Amino acid sequence: MSTWVAALIAAAALTATYFCCIRPMRRGTRGMSAAPPSTSRQVADLREELQALGRQKSAADDAAQTRRRGTSGAPTPPRGQDGGVDG
């Protein structure tokens, strides 16, 4: 490959980089890539998701505790080795 062809390819690559990447960044736009949502919006979405997960965990813990105590709310008596109630 001649030196001139290599130089033309390099010049074309630099030109494409300028028009597709550098020039849009200098203008304050993102060029060919999609604009991401703002950071504050992402933080708000993540906080909302954390609160929802916390509510789900709390509900699951309450349900597990209710199952352990039975439907009356009193703790279930311990079981003996033979499966009967000790006491």
pTM for the model stands at 0.36
| pLDDT at site 77 | 64
CA dist 10 and 4 (Å) reads 10
Q: State the Cα–Cα distance between residues 52 and 80, nearest whole angstrom.
A: 40
Per-residue pLDDT of the chain (87 residues; tens, 9 = 90+): 699 999 999 999 999 999 888 887 787 766 555 556 577 888 888 899 999 999 998 888 888 887 777 655 566 666 666 666 555
E strand intervals along 1-87: none
At position 20, the amino acid (one-letter code) is: C
Q: Which helix (H) or strand (E) holds 4?
A: helix 3-17
pLDDT at 78: 66
* The pLDDT of residue 50: 93
pLDDT of residue 34: 55
